[in-house]
Structure 1
C-alpha cells in the first residue's frame, strides 16, 4: 500500500488494513498505530470481560504448562532490573495478567503490587498470594498507590489508545531515578517484511482493535525519551518468525504454534540450566542488531 491517510491529528502512509482499520506510520506520534483509534470505554469493556475469556481463553493453561520456562524468563528479567537498580525494592506491574512475574519478584524480596483489568486474571493472581487490584490504571488508581522503584508493563502499550498518557501516569508513581520496563511485540521487522512482501504471507501480527500500536526498539526508545525517560537497556526475545521461514507455518495452526514454542523453550532452558545464560543473551543481542526478535523490552530511567 502507498496511500496516505489522516484521522484527527494523526497522519501517515497506510501499511496494512484489517477489520475496518488502517495501520499508519504516524508522522505525529513517531510510531505505527491503527486509525480510527477506539475510545477508552470500548476498550475497557473488551479487557474487563472479553480478552482473557474469548481472545486468550487458554492463557492460564498455557502459562501453567510453561511455568518452568516462564519462571526462568522472569528470573532473568528481574536480575537485569535489580542489576540496574542496585536492589530489590517496590515493584508495580501494570497489566499484571495472571501474576507470574509478581510471584517471582515477591520470592526475590520485592514488595509487589499489580493492577489488572481482567476479573479472571486478577482473581487468579490473588489466589496465588500476590497483591493485585482489578482495576484500570488511570489517574485515580495512580493517586492511590504511592511510589515505586520500578514500574513494569508487559504487553500493555500496544493495547492503549494513548500510550503517552500511560507514560505520564507512570512518572507519577515512580520515585526520582526510578525505572520503567516496557515489553511490547516487535513489529514490522525485516523478517516480517520478507514474509509478507516476498513470500505472500498475510500480515498476521496486525490484529485490531486489540492491538492498536505497533512498536520496534527505536520507536519505543524515542517515545520514552520524548516523555521524560532515558533509555538504559534493551533486549529482544526469540524471533518466532524464523519458524515460518523454515516451513513451519503456525499462523493459523495453534497446535503447531505450541510445538514451535516448545522448541524455543527447550533452547532457552537448556542454555539457562547448563549455566550458559550469557551465551543466550549474546545470541539475542545479535538478533536485536538485525532488527529481529518477537518481543522487545526497553528499560528506561525516569529523569530526575
Structure 2
C-alpha cells in the first residue's frame, strides 16, 4: 500500500513511528473537530443513532455485560467507572444497574440531553482534555470507538490512563482497519477502501498497533476480543458498502447470531471472538488492559 495514493483531496496516511498505526495528515484543527462532535455528529452524520440504540438495548446489554464482567474480574468488584464518549448514556445506565458508580464524558449536547432525560444521568458535556475528576481515580475506564477520531491518540490515551488507579482496568475498542478481509474485498471485488474516511477517522488501528500503544503508555494487555467480521457479509453477496439499508440488514443478521449464542452459550461467543482476534479478524479490536505504571 502506498499511503500517499489512498485519500486524495490533499490528505495522506502516514505510519506512527512507534506504535505503527496509520494517521491522517494534515490533521483537522481542534476547533473544527470540537464543532463537529458537539453539534453535527449526531444531528447530521448519525441522526438515528440514539433512537436506534435505544430500541436495541436488550441486545447491547448482553454484549456490554461481557465487558463489565471482564473488567470486574480485573478490578475485583464493580467500582468507580468512567465511559469516555458516553453517547446517550446507554452503557453507563447498564453499568449503574450492575453496581458500578458511573460517570461519563460526552461532547455532543444532543446526547447529553438524551442521557439526562432517558436515564437521569448527568454527563460531563465536553472533552477529555477539559475533564478533571473531583475525587479519587477510577477503577475502570471504557473507551469505545473514540480513539480513531482524536488528533493525538497517544496524548488522549495517556490522559485517560492518568485517571485510572494503578491496577485498574481499561477497555479500548477501535475499528480493525486494513484487515485481511478488507484487503480481499478491495482486490477481488474491486471495491474502494471504504473504511478510510478522513473527515471522521483520523487514526487507523489493528490489534497489534493498539496493544503497542497501550504498552508504551504503561498498560498491560490482559485480553483481546474481536467483534463480528462484518466484511464476511460482503464476500457472501450482501454488499452493504455505501448502502445503509443493506447495512442495517447485515447488522440485524449479526445481532440474531449473537443473541442465539449469548442465550445458549455465552462463553462460546467470547472464545470465538478471542480466536478471531488471534487471527487479526473482526470489524473492531477490543483490548482489555491493566494499568501497571504510576502516572
Q: What's the TM-score once normalised by structure 2's chain length?
A: 0.94
CA displacement at 1:169 relative to structure 2: 1.1
Kept in 1, the 8 Å contact 2:112–2:122? The answer is no
Determine the structure 2 residue equivalent to 1:8: none
Distance 1:15 1:70 in 2: 38
Q: Judging changes above 3 Å, is the alpha-carbon distance between structure 1 residues 213 and 268 closer, same or farther for their aligned structure 2 residues?
A: same
Kept in 2, the 8 Å contact 1:47–1:117? The answer is yes
* 2:240 alignment partner, one of 234, 250, 258: 250
2:33 partner SS: helix
Q: Judging changes above 3 Å, is the alpha-carbon distance between structure 1 residues 211 and 145 closer, same or farther for their aligned structure 2 residues?
A: farther
Determine the structure 2 residue equivalent to 1:286: 275
1:52-88 Cα shifts (integer Å, max 9, x gaps) = 1111111012202222111111111111111122100
Determine the structure 2 residue equivalent to 1:135: 126
Determine the structure 2 residue equivalent to 1:181: 171
CA displacement at 1:255 relative to structure 2: 1.0
Q: Which runs of 5+ in 2 are unaligned?
A: none
* 2:140 alignment partner, one of 132, 146, 150: 150
Determine the structure 2 residue equivalent to 1:114: 104
Determine the structure 2 residue equivalent to 1:85: 75
Distance 2:75 2:270 in 1: 19
2:169 partner SS: strand
**Paired residue total:** 292
CA displacement at 1:18 relative to structure 2: 4.6
2:285 partner SS: strand
Kept in 2, the 8 Å contact 1:16–1:24? The answer is no
Kept in 2, the 8 Å contact 1:112–1:131? The answer is no
1:159-179 Cα shifts (integer Å, max 9, x gaps) = 010011112211321112112
* 2:86 alignment partner, one of 78, 82, 96: 96
CA displacement at 1:144 relative to structure 2: 4.1
Match status 1:23 vs 2:17: no
1:116-168 Cα shifts (integer Å, max 9, x gaps) = 00001111112212231111111x41354641101111111000100111122
1:301 partner SS: strand
Determine the structure 1 residue equivalent to 2:4: 14
Determine the structure 2 residue equivalent to 1:231: 221
Q: Give the number of the structure whose residues are more often strand, by fraction.
A: 1
Kept in 2, the 8 Å contact 1:119–1:134? The answer is yes
Distance 1:26 1:198 in 2: 29
Kept in 2, the 8 Å contact 1:18–1:208? The answer is no
Kept in 2, the 8 Å contact 1:15–1:25? The answer is no
Determine the structure 1 residue equivalent to 2:23: 33
Distance 2:29 2:226 in 1: 30
Match status 1:299 vs 2:292: no
Distance 2:225 2:19 in 1: 23
Distance 2:134 2:229 in 1: 39
Q: Judging changes above 3 Å, is the alpha-carbon distance between structure 1 residues 29 and 76 closer, same or farther for their aligned structure 2 residues?
A: closer
1:211 partner SS: coil
Q: What's the TM-score once normalised by structure 1's chain length?
A: 0.92
Kept in 1, the 8 Å contact 2:115–2:121? The answer is yes
Structure of greater relative contact order (alpha carbons < 8 Å, 6+ residues apart): 2
